[in-house]
């Protein structure tokens, strides 16, 4: 199945869409497996958090329609798919300013077949990107449409054997992967970077932090990762993938990683 809808119907995007012009919107990428949208409530909650932070005029009626559309198009689907939702601001006139009372929201849904890549089970080869993460305290955590840093970070390591690249702040602090959050075993402790200056508050990341209170959120300096013995990356599509190689150094496949994965029922 390959479906693309705008406001519930097949269609195209007007060229003056503000999602295109400015990245003025938010999105979610959801795994559809066994006819079920995985972690749907969590995704919808994060979408609403984005709506509030961007002051999008998303209505309760639109939210119901979105949920109905998702249900209608995914209910009987057994194959694994990726479901992407984008909400973009629509406003009168040109320029960055928008009139609060004259705005509305376009809702885009894309449903495409998804095959989990082999490296998710085998372990990911990970390298540090040469492009920085974009930093903005006012936007950090949001899954907004300004993702050029991730695009260029991924492109900065053209080696196709590398499965994911890690991004850092200008201060040399680890943020996340281009498409994932990252967890590293530092001595005896599992740690994941804080995302107060940059990065996305991932759904799997949040689930892990809720389930395992011993995972620490903290500053992780890029210079400290040489001593790391194990690690994994997470996102809503791959779930949890162990890191087998970090900047050329082999990492162990630590048993905790299975434990984390099992608790969240992420195994395929």
Q: Does 85 bind a second copy (CB under 8 A)?
A: no
Q: Which is nearer to a second copy, 38 or 180 (CB)?
A: 180
Q: Does 145 bind a second copy (CB under 8 A)?
A: yes
Q: Which is nearer to a second copy, 185 or 238 (CB)?
A: 238
The DSSP result for 214-257, as a single string, is TSEEE--BGGGGGG--EEEEEETTTEEEEEEEETTEE----HHH
Please, which residues have CB within 8 angstroms of residue 168's CB and are 6 or more apart in sequence? 128, 129, 132, 133, 174, 175, 222
Size of the site for a second copy (CB under 8 A): 58
- Contact region with a second copy (CB under 8 A), list: 70-78, 82-90, 203-211, 258-266: 82-90
Dihedral of CA 95/98/104/107: which sign?
A: positive
- Contact region with a second copy (CB under 8 A), list: 62-70, 85-93, 118-126, 182-190: 85-93
Q: Does 8 bind a second copy (CB under 8 A)?
A: no
Site for a second copy in 51-80 (CB under 8 A): 54-55
Among 9, 78, 158, 268, binds a second copy (CB under 8 A): 158
* The pair of three-digit structure tokens given for residue 206, joined into one six-digit string: 């949040």
Nearest partner of 139 among 50, 207, 42, judged by Cα: 50
Q: Is the distance from CB of 181 to CB of 202 less than 8 angstroms?
A: yes
Among 1, 52, 92, 148, binds a second copy (CB under 8 A): 148
Q: Is the distance from CB of 48 to CB of 42 less than 8 angstroms?
A: no
Neighbours of 102 (CB within 10 A): 11
* Residues within the interface to a second copy (CB under 8 A): 4, 6, 11-24, 27, 54-55, 82, 86, 88-89, 94-98, 100, 108, 110, 112, 131-139, 144-155, 158, 170, 178-179, 197
């Amino acid at each position: 199945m390959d479906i693309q809808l705008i406001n519930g119907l097949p269609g195209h995007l007007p060229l003056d869409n503000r999602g295109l012009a400015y990245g003025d919107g938010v999105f979610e990428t959801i795994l559809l497996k066994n006819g079920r949208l995985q972690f749907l409530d969590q995704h919808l909650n994060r979408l609403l958090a984005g709506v509030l932070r961007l002051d999008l005029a998303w209505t309760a009626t639109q939210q119901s329609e979105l949920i109905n559309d998702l249900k209608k198009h995914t209910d009987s689907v057994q194959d694994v798919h990726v479901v992407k939702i984008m909400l973009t601001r629509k406003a009168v006139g040109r320029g960055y300013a928008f009139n609060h009372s004259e705005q509305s929201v376009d809702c885009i849904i894309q449903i495409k077949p998804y095959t989990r890549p082999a490296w998710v089970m085998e372990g990911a080869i990970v390298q540090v990107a040469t492009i920085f993460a974009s930093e903005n305290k006012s936007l950090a955590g949001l899954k907004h449409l300004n993702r050029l840093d991730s695009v260029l970070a991924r492109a900065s390591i053209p080696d196709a054997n590398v499965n994911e690249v890690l991004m850092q702040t200008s201060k040399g602090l680890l943020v996340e992967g281009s498409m994932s959050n990252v967890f590293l075993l530092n001595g005896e402790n599992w740690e994941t970077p804080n995302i107060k200056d940059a990065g996305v508050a991932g759904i799997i990341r949040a689930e892990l932090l809720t389930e395992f209170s011993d995972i620490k959120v903290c500053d992780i300096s890029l210079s400290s990762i040489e001593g790391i013995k194990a690690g994994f990356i997470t996102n809503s599509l791959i779930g949890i993938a162990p890191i087998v190689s970090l900047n050329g150094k082999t990492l162990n496949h630590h048993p905790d990683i299975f434990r984390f994965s099992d608790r969240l029922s992420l195994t395929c």
